[in-house]
Chain A
Amino acid sequence: MIRLKRNIAVSDTGFVFDPSTGETFTVNETGMRIIHYLREGKDPREIASLIIKEYNIDSLSFEKYFQDFTEMLKQFNMLEYEKEV
């Protein structure tokens, strides 16, 4: 299961701060929503179902963009991986 690292701070405006590296990022509304879902520990299928319901996007396109986004989060060391029980 992938999760956002617990120490990553995300504000209501989409300002993201990693206190261990001092790096800052900005995300748009959709990105902020996905980040919050990742923080809550929702799995990719759940996130896909929630986003598709809310936005006018098909599941294949979303999967592509979601993978792209999480790869970027992984590259910036913002994700942690927990074993599913």
Chain B
Amino acid sequence: MNKKKLILAVTGLNNTDNPGPGIPVVRSIKESGEFDLRVVGLAYETLEPGIYMRELVDKVYQVPYPSEGSGALMERIAYIQKQENIQVLIPNFDAELYTFIKAGKKLQELGIRTFLPTIHQFEERHKSNLDAFGKKYGVNVPRSKPLTNLAEISKLRDDFEYPVMVKGKFYDAYVAYNEEQVQMHFNKISAKWGLPVIIQEFVRGTEVNVIALGDGEGNTIGAVPMRKQYITDKGKAWGGITLDNPEMLLLTEKIIRGTRWRGGMELELIRTAENDLYVIEINPRIPAWVYLAVGAGQNLPVALVKLALGNAVKPFVSFEVGKIFVRYSWDMIIDLKDFEAISMKGEI
């Protein structure tokens, strides 16, 4: 049987100690054998390892950061589309998703399909809106408060007990035991990611995660829960194991059903000693540990591509429990001319 041709673009080629999902997404789709695949990588920085992983990525273009404006990004995408004829684009960074979601119509006009949450879905699960989200969908969330200036820090004692979590709107999270530490983290986070900075109640328990895919109609196409077994000093999972936990799956299905979530997502949960589950973050894209779900029997990136192409996808009904992922680091040797090509021409 002839494989269906697919020209796929991905971002998140930063397979570093703070890894993006781009390479595991490509790996998942390539290994499925379902497509005659050409992969176009979209990179922000010239040392993103995925740029040089020729066995997985066929061509790479450097693209401007979303902070340079959606105009600059879309102009670059339009140029790339003329060269490549991309069919499906999977953006993998939180910080770029808003831009790609807003540009959905323009991308469609260029012939590029995505399968992303709506603006409403994207906004209502924001860390700064988690309180309201919890009330609306009937899920436990830690109390939180957005901060927009340093003067608000002294009033935190009225609403929270220390320690508290101090979080950026896209990335970074720190524990703070007093006002001075909140101030320090506020300055660091706001300089990097802007405002607001989110203060969140510290919920004691074990962190567990779920990767899931919603079809936009309220159905859960797939979901796999996991617990991190090894956490790096950056808080990233460097090893994890799939779980048999019906409560986590029921919570995931409840959220996807209620929001009619469209696309990939990662739920970050805390399971307390009383076995209550708190939603501490909803990441609106596939996480970097997606390959564990594939290894456990649910190839969610392939399912997402099929949904993007307008095909119906049957929900997965099972996965293997006790499957473990162990991440490693690997040195690639790169020729200077390759580094020069991406640095000077913006493509390789």
* Complex contacts, A22 vs chain B, CB 8 Å: 226-227, 229, 240-243, 322
How far in angstroms is the closest Cβ of chain A from B231? 13
Give the dominant DSSP class at A's interface.
Answer: loop
Interface string of B210-227 (1 = CB under 8 A from A): 000000000000000011
Contact (Cβ within 8 A) A17 B322: yes
Interface residues of A in 35-66 (CB under 8 A from B): none
User: Cβ of A21 < 8 Å from any Cβ of B?
Assistant: yes
Say whether B206 faces chain A, with CB atoms less than 8 Å apart.
yes
Interface residue tally for chain B (C-beta within 8 Å):
13
Q: Is A13 interfacial (CB 8 A cutoff)?
A: no
Question: Once the chains bind, are A21 and B243 in contact (CB under 8 Å)?
Answer: yes
Mask: chain A, 2-27; 1 = CB below 8 Å from B; 0 = not: 00000101000000010111100000
Nearest-CB distance from A26 to chain B (Å)? 15
Say yes or no: A19 contacts B322, CB within 8 Å: yes
Which residues in window 173-197 of B have CB below 8 A to A?
A: none
Q: For chain B, what secondary structure do more than half of its interface residues adopt (helix, strand, loop), or is it mixed?
A: strand
A7 to B243, CA, bound (A): 11
Q: Which of A9, A17, A20 has the most CB of B within 10 A?
A: A20
Complex CA gap A16/B243 in Å reads 14
Q: Give the nearest-CB partner of A24 in chain B.
A: B241
B321 at the interface (CB under 8 A from A): yes
- Chain A residues whose C-beta falls within 8 Å of the C-beta of B318 in the assembled complex: none
Question: Of A7, A17, A22, which is in contact with the most chain B CB atoms at under 10 Å from its CB?
Answer: A22
Q: Which residues of A are found within 8 Å of B226, using beta-carbon distances?
A: 22
A70 CB → nearest B CB, Å: 18
Which residue of chain A has its CB nearest to the CB of B275?
A77
Selected contact of A19 from candidates B206, B229, B244, CB within 8 Å: B244
Q: CA of A9 to CA of B322 in the docked complex: distance in angstroms?
A: 10
Asked whether, in the complex, the Cβ of A21 is within 8 Å of the Cβ of B206, the reply is: yes
In the bound complex, residues from chain B placing their C-beta under 8 Å from that of A17 are 322
Is B245 interfacial (CB 8 A cutoff)?
yes
Complex CA gap A17/B242 in Å reads 12
Q: Measured between alpha carbons, how far is A67 from B318 in the docked complex, in Å?
A: 38
B242-276: CB near A (< 8 Å → 1, else 0) gives 11110000000000000000000000000100000
Task: Please give the distance in Å from A18's CB to the nearest CB on chain B.
Answer: 9
Beyond known contacts A7-B244, A19-B243, A22-B240: 16 more, CB 8 A cutoff: A9-B322, A17-B322, A19-B244, A19-B321, A19-B322, A20-B243, A20-B245, A21-B206, A21-B243, A21-B245, A21-B271, A22-B227, A22-B229, A22-B241, A22-B243, A22-B322
Pairs A–B under 8 Å by Cβ, sample size 22: A7-B244, A9-B322, A17-B322, A19-B243, A19-B244, A19-B321, A19-B322, A20-B243, A20-B244, A20-B245, A21-B206, A21-B227, A21-B245, A21-B271, A22-B226, A22-B227, A22-B229, A22-B240, A22-B241, A22-B242, A22-B243, A22-B322
> Closest 4 A-B residue pairs measured CB to CB?
A19-B244, A22-B227, A22-B241, A19-B321
Chain B residues close to A by CB (< 8 Å): 206, 226-227, 229, 240-245, 271, 321-322
